Structure 1
């Protein structure tokens, strides 16, 4: 029996939860061999050091690729991507995979696609066909055109990929592996750990057990990076004034993240908020348990659109980062205005009619992805037929 070597490249903290159950399914499949490559900010402590969580979960890492250039601006993003192409090209040359998997839409994922495609290695794209805005929008669709096999997360996304001229026989709606994790949490939602005791972090010792809590995760928008500090200050002021116990997570490594993180640090030092505790990272399952037991998620993370719609967690989505992404009834959209954010948080917290929606899958995506990979005939050549 011929075993396919499937090389999966994880470049950032959120990408791991987007692919975790698929990694497990590939690892356990008798016809597949997992080659796991960890790269980019997933290796960096300042962004949560996701590689430690990955190793604790029992995955063997084939290669580590350090490629993030300091700067957190559009030029450093471009150079980081260029370094990624160079380093990943060598990795794929050494590993000789039968196929390479690139995940979603983060700016550096295009490096995976280029390095694989230029070496005639079949490219598999997870979560193509969605709409968001900023640089992620361009990168996702560029990944789609470089990819040979498309494993999308929703029917809406599948139709969009087909409209881009991709072969219908190579486009599959598997759902999103992150919903697999959410499905596990849905059946056992108890918050069975103390976030501060387990993960440390910095800031106030908030009274979350008695009063409940909200969660904030706000990233910079790459096409609006110059306003990142001002944008996060609006959210900080709103959350501070509401005085609800808050768990706040560090931003991703994108253009503008120095502005976001700088704004957080300055506010923490100058205002010394008594209701906010800050974290860098959490294990995916723990993070979802934290969300499902919260009053509300605030910010602009895609977790509000995907996992929170499935878990029926109220969400205040701020700004344009999730622009036009398919969403559920759990979300209210606002701009970066302190008073509007406060009003939206109060409204979401008081809404008891939010219901679970399965826009991005039914909790079986990881298994479906492994089965497709084991059975499909992979090719690195395609020609547009329209």
Structure 2
């Protein structure tokens, strides 16, 4: 009998990463793919990207509404509570043999805690990473402790998951799923993207994505205002913004984006969600990717483009030499953009070695999933009691 594997997705970027694995699960006779969709996917403000999932040919088995109108910390916490109720109903009905969760968002924590209580084994992707500027960092480690099986993107992250007390035999370094998309998804010509989205984008241009900083002493509104001021120093470059994640403080950033775009007709545009193929294509055509998205750290280096990583949200994450890390002052950001536009930076971006693997991740995950049986009770792996290593 096929194993029932439920895949959870609550955000556009997360779905893009999971896409190649979902395709393999859907095609395999050994698995019955179940899809639980929630969070930003169901929100009109963030582009109702559940429609993209269905357009890609996936059947959605459960839609769980959870996002409240408030983007305050209290509102996000209440959204998690709403999600917990919905996820309990969905998992009770679907009863998967395994639940696949990627990453570190609050939606993921809500579904993970429900699965743990209902004794549904969790398969966690991208554990062990560090992002000191967001509470996602704590959420990621919390999901690690709720999960039974772990697929990580680097050897350093495998060691960290084991350090958290997880059994080494249940932690696999498979690389980052996002690199597989880069290798396998055809690019969309810029002319086609302009037609599809009613843009007039032409080179040179910047792609900008900035998310709220939720666990550090960095004022997101002030930092983003400084990014906008720095962009004004490059009037010959057009600007394409994508919306931030639905974290607390996102509404302020969206308002700033919309105000900037209104004041810069013909130079700046904002799109809630580009979609996976268009996003990869725009990154590859852009002069630089600016902001604090994890994509700038993980995927952008494999597309031959320089990323300017602003502020502390991604602090602690491994990155390629092609990523330019800058502070939050206007002068810092301007300097980082200038550096990204140099011939040396462009050459470095074309030859950068990405620490997140070679792009064969979903095959490696599938090989392990085929061998998995429902786990026994978790036993803490105490490094202090292990003689001679074993890691």
State the shift of 1:157 in Å: 1.0
Q: Residue in 1 aligned with 2:26?
A: 27
State the shift of 1:111 in Å: 0.8
RMSD over equivalenced CA pairs, Å = 1.7
> Equivalents in 2 of 1:362, 1:143: separation in Å?
26
* Structure 1 residues 94 and 356: CA distance shift in structure 2, 3 A: same
* Structure 1 residues 232 and 380: CA distance shift in structure 2, 3 A: farther
- The CA deviation string for residues 40-84 of structure 1, in whole angstroms up to 9 with x for no partner, is 111112112221111111111101010001211111111111111
Q: Residue in 2 aligned with 1:199?
A: 197
3-state SS of 1:97 partner: coil
Q: Residue in 1 aligned with 2:251?
A: 258
Q: Residue in 2 aligned with 1:296?
A: 288
The 5-angstrom pairing of residues 261-340 of structure 1 reads 261-269=254-262, 271-272=263-264, 274-340=266-332
Q: Residue in 2 aligned with 1:363?
A: 359
Q: Are 1:184 and 2:196 an aligned pair?
A: no
Aligned residue among 370, 377, 381 for 2:373: 377
The 5-angstrom pairing of residues 4-23 of structure 1 reads 4-23=3-22
3-state SS of 1:247 partner: strand
TM-score by length of 1: 0.93
3-state SS of 1:194 partner: helix
- The CA deviation string for residues 230-289 of structure 1, in whole angstroms up to 9 with x for no partner, is 2211111211231111111111100110111122223334x3354212111122122101
Contact residue 152 and residue 174 of structure 1 kept, 8 A: yes
> Equivalents in 1 of 2:204, 2:71: separation in Å?
34
* Structure 1 residues 44 and 380: CA distance shift in structure 2, 3 A: farther
State the shift of 1:38 in Å: 0.5
Equivalent residues, number: 376
* Structure 1 residues 257 and 380: CA distance shift in structure 2, 3 A: farther
Aligned residue among 335, 338, 353 for 1:346: 338
- The CA deviation string for residues 289-316 of structure 1, in whole angstroms up to 9 with x for no partner, is 1101211100000111111122231011
Q: Residue in 1 aligned with 2:385?
A: none
State the shift of 1:226 in Å: 8.2
Q: Residue in 2 aligned with 1:74?
A: 73
State the shift of 1:222 in Å: 1.5
3-state SS of 1:61 partner: coil
Contact residue 305 and residue 346 of structure 2 kept, 8 A: no
- The CA deviation string for residues 329-384 of structure 1, in whole angstroms up to 9 with x for no partner, is 11111122122212211111112332232321211111222221121123262021
Where structure 2 has 5 or more consecutive residues not aligned to the other structure, the ranges are 383-391
* Structure 1 residues 70 and 117: CA distance shift in structure 2, 3 A: same
State the shift of 1:190 in Å: 6.4
Q: Residue in 2 aligned with 1:108?
A: 107
Q: Residue in 2 aligned with 1:245?
A: 238
* Structure 1 residues 358 and 339: CA distance shift in structure 2, 3 A: closer
3-state SS of 1:241 partner: coil
